A and B are shown apart, each in its own frame.
Chain A
Amino acid sequence: MSSGLTLTEKILARASGLPRVEAGGYVEAEVDLVMMHDLTGPLALDAFERLVERRVWNPGRVVVVFDHQVPADTVRSAELQRRLRRFVAEYGVRNFYDVGKGGICHEVLPEKGHVKPGDLVVGADSHTCTYGALGAFATGVGSTDVAAVLAQGRLWFRVPETVRVVVEGRFQRYVSAKDLILHMAGCLGEDGANYKSLEFTGSTVGKMGMDGRMTLCNMVVELGAKAGLVPPDGVTFRYLEGRVAGSLRPLYPDEGAEYEGELSFSVDSLEPQVACPPRVANVKPVGEVAGLPVDQAVLGSCTNGRMDDLREAAGLLRGRRVKDGVRMIVLPASQEIYLRALEEGLLEVFARAGAAVGPPNCGPCLGGHFGLLAEGEVCISSTNRNFTGRMGSPGAKVYLASPATVAASAVTGRITDPREVGGR
């Protein structure tokens, strides 16, 4: 008798029209949704235009989001974006989110109901793995891959080994999903899950809201993983209510599914974590780096620009000021989040604290747009990468942390344990 399948294997089997798939094998699978943005889209169009037969297999399953260099910062960016606007118009791609209509792709796709449990999703962005939070198999691919999917709706995949990750316990106050995934990166290393799929379970994940789950799944790629998934549950279906149309086809891991391995984490005594440059896996408890002066604090990105993140940071900034000599940049992850934060008064909290609130976009995270760092400067950031040169000068340093740690550090002007500002 054959063993049960993991959620990863069940999604890839269904998408390939096979009764079962095995880790290490290769499949050609039907993709449910493909995404590209303003920086990876132009290369995808270059590849698409080299195809003999230039037709889009299903325009309804294509999503285009402008989030990296928006609003256009240079004439060059404006021209790339104009090219993509012409493409979506020519090929009838209606799921197009222009400036002011969407936000960061990895918030927009779930938020607008494009991702459903059990789906196979690919996107020309490494953080496409975020959608695993909804029980989908979602993974980042290249621009040529996207061109192939645009044309034929199919792509080759290697079936990854699945690792079960069990997380138990209750987070302390001001400790969150970001601290958990940074801690995991520190334990496993930046290629510690290379090529694997991580399936999260346990009481901590069960109680975690969708915002936290997206933070968790978003950063599995920083451990090298192909995907990170949370099997759908009540939290998932409540999130989907009012967002998705049509029937759902959720899948779940089999009882007795065969995992390559299992990892266990307890969060009861987990402290706020900081990833020190130039590696995401170079993680230390905040106490070991506390006191380091910062020049910039960034709150936002596809990792930590959601409502829970903004609320946590605003709670620490309410009635306080961003320290003189520190500039804080706040970027809600989407237009919808921007509006909700406006209605809840969070944007006023940030503005009164002396933070610069910007439009929903990727901002300084990838160093292509505003908010860059000069040589020798230090940034505490809720984003996902701290590589050399990532946020501007190769001589600048980026420390990654939770929204709470970023807000607390902005107030004191030094890397700070949020529990010392907010109280334990």
Chain B
Amino acid sequence: MRVEGRALKFGDNVNTDLILPGKYLVLTRPEDLAAHAMEGLDPGFPRKAQEYGLVVAGVNFGGGSSREHAALALKHAGVRCVVAESFARIFFRNAINNGLPAVACPGISSKVEEGDRLEVELEKGLVTNKSKGVTLQAKPFPGFLLGILRDGGLIPHLNKKHSENKPSLGEGKPSRQGVSSPF
């Protein structure tokens, strides 16, 4: 799986109150949430997101509230991938569960400027800044998380498993073998 786009850049500790303020939690339709994506930092974000497609951020992206509204708002505003130094864990789950790749890539902040053209290869965990000719190794996803992303999120993934009559997460299901953290 490969995602391409241009970077919209943010700093460290972008919490979910900034991605989607609490007053909008009564919204549930994706297009309504998308209209307020990143409102706490840049009210013009929804206009730009469609054109750029990628968010690049610093450490601890998505900290704070568990609101899945935040991941939905980004995705439906047109964000196809978030690349950050690190993620807060619940945002990471919410992004993957909605088919939005959240790629933890230490060092990314200093290698990307707003508007740079990036290519992200999810299987290999490679992030290439085509504008600057630099490639970084991100933390790769364990197999079962790639499976969820390939199917477009956890619900379609479970539906596929159901149709294949494999009620558990099935092939590539979590193992207790140590895998480095994808966060």
**Complex Cα distance A28/B144, Å?**
11
Q: Is the CB of B89 within 8 A of A226?
A: yes
Q: Which of A143-151, A289-297, A316-324 participates in binding chain B?
A: A143-151
Interface size on B, residues (CB 8 A): 53
B68 partner residues in chain A, CB cutoff 8 A: 40, 43, 124, 142-144
Which one of A27, A39, A152, A224 contacts B174 once the chains associate, using CB atoms below 8 Å? A27
Q: Which residues of B contact A394 (CB under 8 A)?
A: 40
Chain B residues closer than 8 Å to A21, beta-carbon distance? 176
Residues from chain A with a CB closer than 8 A to the CB of B163 are 52
Question: CB-CB < 8 A to A53: which residues of B?
Answer: 162
Select one of A25, A147, A388 contacting B17, CB under 8 A: A388
A47 to B183 Cα, complex, angstroms? 24
Partner of A145, one of B17, B144, B154, B156: B154
What is the count of residue pairs linking A and B with beta-carbon distances less than 8 angstroms?
Answer: 167
Contact between chains at B66 and A389 (CB < 8 Å): no
Interface assignment of B115: CB less than 8 Å from any CB of chain A = no
Q: Is the CB of B59 within 8 A of A28?
A: no
A39 B25 Cβ-Cβ under 8 A: yes
| Interface residues of B, dominant DSSP | loop
Q: Is the CB of B66 within 8 A of A144?
A: no
Q: Mark B153-180, 1 if CB is under 8 A from A, else 0.
A: 1111011001100011100011111111
A142→B97 contact, CB < 8 A:
yes
Tell me whether B127 is interfacial, beta carbon within 8 Å: no
A194 near B: Cβ within 8 Å? yes
CA distance A389 to B24 in the complex (A): 12
Alpha-carbon gap, A388 to B158, bound state (A)? 37
Q: Is there an interface contact between B183 and A194, defined as CB atoms closer than 8 Å?
A: yes
A270 neighbours in B (Cβ, 8 Å): none
Whether B64 is near chain A, meaning CB under 8 Å from some CB there, is yes
Question: Within the assembled complex, what's the spacing in Å between the Cα atoms of A53 and B162?
Answer: 8
- Binary contact track B96-122/A, C-beta < 8 Å → 1, others 0: 011000000000000000000000000
In the complex, are the beta carbons of A387 and B18 less than 8 A apart?
yes
**Closest residue of B by beta carbon distance from A21:** B176
A27-B176 in contact (CB<8A): yes
**A22–B60 touching, CB < 8 Å:** no
In angstroms, Cα B30 to Cα A271, docked, is 46
The complex places the Cα of A158 from the Cα of B92 at a distance, in Å, of: 12
Q: Is the CB of B178 within 8 A of A22?
A: yes
Alpha-carbon separation in the docked complex, A144 to B183 (Å):
19
Whether B162 contacts A52 by the Cβ 8 Å rule is yes
Among A74-82, A173-181, A305-313, A338-346, the stretch that binds chain B is A74-82
Q: How far is the CA of A162 from the CA of B163 in the complex (A)?
A: 38
Those of A172-191 within 8 Å (CB) of chain B: 190-191
A69 to B102, CA, bound (A): 30
A263 to chain B minimum Cβ distance, whole angstroms, is 19
A23 to B60, CA, bound (A): 20
Give A151-210 interface residues, CB cut-off 8 Å to B: 151-152, 154, 156-159, 190-191, 194-195
13 additional A-B pairs beyond A52-B162, A158-B181, A368-B23, beta carbons within 8 Å, are: A18-B176, A23-B178, A25-B174, A27-B176, A28-B168, A42-B28, A80-B26, A142-B66, A142-B90, A142-B94, A152-B158, A157-B174, A387-B15
Between A and B, 6 residue pairs with Cβ closer than 8 Å are: A50-B155, A52-B163, A126-B65, A141-B90, A142-B97, A147-B155
